[in-house]
Structure 1
């Protein structure tokens, strides 16, 4: 008891008379000395001292037991955001000042992980171009602590995007579902309205757990209510909403909640990487959708066609961040070599008139050449000295509008003459560019 008292007397400045115990002060010199002599033990030693300086070296945790409980509650809630609770836990120490500092250091780590993300996208993706977020974590923390609003920690430091908080709610659901038995459902055939099978009741209950079926009543008969629930499930998982329990739907339905939870955590992490400006075009690649936000409010929604993601033909739309600089009306299409070889060459070999029908001209060193004089069979991506140019017009692959923005991938947003593809549920047909259904409306918005 005497030793512990001596430690507190040495490390903590005496609280002023009438001041709450929460606001007892740390000794600034002792604090700085301890942090600097243990820098390798802290994640953010400089920010740790910066925060205490802003708080006039207030004792945050070890001066009041209920504040320690509040910290434990904070790190317990980190799980719902896909962050590991153990990364922020601090075991009690005999040295109260060191214990205090370790807790605050881990709080700063949690704040950083929540604000910036645990991973650094620049290390994961080549040509990552999104700007770094403004560094204001310490200021936010200081303001929360001064105002006694530490319970608003997650609200203030997490992304403001509504989809982020929707995923946080989903994480709660799938964390619960991960604790349930999740047997593999194996019907003998695809099931549809009118069919009867013991599997149908399992499907019905599972869709109820997942929220696609509003009420559960035991039944082995495939009825209209079940069909609508399956369509809802299919819609949410990027499957053509037929209402038939086919192989693809069954595969998604049998996916373990724990696996789905990992997917949710991954998407929460991605949403932390970028702060979406008030005026922004956001393309959700997996859902084949475009959103235009004006002054923070949704102003336009459009279906899009994105890059192919097939195993044998992988040309995905890249993740990028840029600024639209101009719009070209009635653009020409300068065909990339990769597309010329993979897509156009086989069609020319099959149909010598293909280029003329599509309005595509062939140039060699700036001079137009006769396509019939080209040895198409010998050409490859490494050996393609020609430039293919499709003239503006109704057949042009870019349609009537092209949205230009600098990027290292040579991709852009554009119109398209192939409007029928927007009726498809899965729209991965391009070579990386984004075809916009409402290109004209988007141009007018901009």
Structure 2
């Protein structure tokens, strides 16, 4: 009897013993990992993730990484912390099962040890891949994106990080190190804090006509409130208004509006029109999504652009020339109309053409110029446009001898505009190989650079400062390169660069300036909207409102 009582007491004590912190409840060993992976029971539907997981453990002879001898390793907390902070990078944290892994880590019941070991590895491999090259397939999210997405071997990365015992630093180095990315990341965290606190930005009602400085308007108090909300988000000194209720559009508010316009890619004229009102009415939730999708685009880009390169931001209507990580030239640009949108791609500028002919594409000749010739028989002659029988430009035709109203819709002629003051390409064009027939060029239409939304071209990029860009690309002054004299001669000349210069045409609607302040532009081609629809990230209620 005493033996039975003693045995019962011992069993009771064992049942009451606490599960010690840091001890996995299920045995994790090379054999259990091998057996589990052999079953190939991945319920996520992501076959590539399962392949990476098997490859990772096969490389280490199926030895566990996070739970060794049934003990949680200190590095497990580091790994779980990385996974839990994935949303700080603008990533969809639900892809990494963070909440489920935390539950497994906290639970003393069931077969959680093996599930935790494999789950952490699977999530870290996915997180490393997404941080380096992006969570989305670039071409699937944006069919107009043609810059090759970065390749990355997350299995080798994680093995090396564990072998070298530098997991924390290795993950810290994965995301793009460029100041642009870090600025978006900081602002994303701040805006998410505002959203979590229940912040909703004030909406400005329809305005019958533009509001100009030194006038009164009943919407001004709402605009003042919206500017103060912008101060809470961006901490710009100009947004710290001292007056919140007045309907008078005073100098203080004008300075704030001009700063707001500049931050949102608008001409800072202080006039509150439809574009400014639209920017003011961007919901906080949508601004958060804009930051996220642009951080994703930055992850798609190469990590090394080169020592000297040209960056064209299509959405921001801006070109920047960069040398040794420092912007040395910037200018406004005009990009393609909505139905002739400029794609995103990269190439290398190879040569310049001075006093270029414009060999007019058939689509432009048919859709834009032929209707003008039908209305005005002297149009081609007035614009210096010549008509040829084919794109070999061998046999020139007299436009007066053609019945333009009887021409078939396929438009069987080739048009060419001679060099000169009327030439749509101006005095110089910049050539780089690409399958889209896109190039940069001068323009006689200088007034277009004053517009807020500069989508007026047929796909190519018009430049505000073409000759300054020529100096950057050639690496010497126009006088040294004899460019000015050659342009003045009126003759068409080709000038090859001493070394081809990389050029990147990107679509970025949120970026940072040299001071680290984040700036925005409208989603002119709807590529943000399309990419976010593909991403299927949890969408705030107000995101569906038009921008």
- Pair in the same fold by TM > 0.5: yes
- Give deviations 1:248-268, integer Å, cap 9, x for gaps: 322321221011111111111
The structure-2 alpha-carbon separation of the partners of 1:329 and 1:246, relative to structure 1 and needing over 3 Å to count, comes to closer
How far residue 146 of structure 1 moved from its aligned partner, in angstroms, is: 3.9
Match of 1:391 in 2: 418
Q: Does 1:225 align with 2:252?
A: yes
Q: Which has the higher contact order (CA 8 A, sep 6+)?
A: 2
Find out whether 1:208 has 2:225 as its counterpart: no
Q: Is the 8 A contact 2:191 2:288 kept in 1?
A: yes
Shift of 1:54: 6.4
Asked if the contact 1:187/1:199 (under 8 Å) is kept, the reply is no
- In 2, distance between residues paired with 1:147 and 1:85? 27
* Cα deviation, residue 201, structure 1: 4.2
- Normalising by structure 2, report the TM-score: 0.69
- After TM superposition, the structure 1 = structure 2 runs for residues 11-410 of structure 1, keeping only pairs within 5 Å, are 11-12=28-29, 27=30, 30-38=32-40, 40-41=42-43, 43-52=48-57, 57=63, 59-60=65-66, 63-64=71-72, 67-89=75-97, 90-91=100-101, 92=104, 94-126=111-143, 129-152=146-169, 155-178=172-195, 179-186=198-205, 190-191=210-211, 192-195=213-216, 197=218, 198-211=221-234, 212=236, 213-221=238-246, 222-275=249-302, 277-278=305-306, 279-309=308-338, 314-365=339-390, 366-379=394-407, 382-410=409-437
When the two structures are superposed, what TM-score results if normalisation uses the length of structure 1?
Answer: 0.84
SS at match of 1:394: coil
**Structure 1 stretch displaced more, 37-46 or 246-255:** 37-46
CA–CA separation in structure 2 for the residues paired with 1:345 and 1:121: 38
Alpha-carbon separation, structure 2, partners of 1:439 and 1:155:
40
Identify which range, 180-189 or 256-265, moves more after superposition: 180-189
Deviation at 1:362, TM superposition (A): 0.3
Indicate if the aligned counterparts of 2:432 and 2:439 stay in contact, CA closer than 8 A: yes
> Aligned pair in 2 of structure 1 residues 217, 437: CA closer, same or farther (>3 Å)?
closer
- 1:72-122 CA distances to partner (integer Å, 9 max, x unpaired)? 332232112221222112442615233201211111111112222122123
Q: CA deviation at 1:150?
A: 3.1
The Cα offsets for residues 214-260 of structure 1, whole Å up to 9 and x where unpaired, read as 43434323322221111111122233322233343223212210111
Matches of 1:168 and 1:289, distance apart in 2: 22
* Per-residue deviation, 1:443: 2.7
SS of equivalent residue, structure 1 residue 283: strand
Task: Tell me the distance in 2 between the aligned counterparts of 1:176 and 1:384.
Answer: 58
> How large is the Cα RMSD of the aligned pairs?
3.1
Aligned residue pairs, count: 425
Q: Aligned pair in 2 of structure 1 residues 203, 98: CA closer, same or farther (>3 Å)?
A: closer
CA distance in 1, matches of 2:34, 2:322: 46
CA distance in 2, matches of 1:127, 1:182: 32
Structure 1 unmatched ranges of 5 or more: 13-26
Distance in structure 2 (CA, Å) of the matches to 1:184 and 1:129? 37
Q: Is the 8 A contact 1:196 1:220 kept in 2?
A: no
Change (3 A) 1:300 1:139: farther
Call closer, same or farther: CA 1:394–1:54 in 2, change over 3 Å. farther
**Alpha-carbon shift at residue 364 of structure 1 (Å):** 0.9
Cα distance in 1 between the residues matched to 2:199 and 2:27 = 52
Deviations 1:249-289 (A, max 9, x none): 22321221011111111111122212152143221011111
Contact 2:317 2:454 in 1 (8 A): yes
Residues 306 and 435 of structure 1 are in contact (CA less than 8 Å); yes or no, is this contact kept in structure 2?
yes
User: CA shift at 1:295, angstroms?
Assistant: 4.3
SS of aligned partner of 1:243: coil
State the 1:428 CA deviation.
Answer: 1.6
Q: Out of 188-197 and 326-335, give the one that drifted further.
A: 188-197
Aligned residues of 1:61 and 1:67 also touching (Cα < 8 A):
no
Partner of 1:22: none
Change (3 A) 1:255 1:105: same
Aligned 8 A contact 1:200 1:219 in 2: no
CA contact (8 A) 2:28 2:64 kept: no
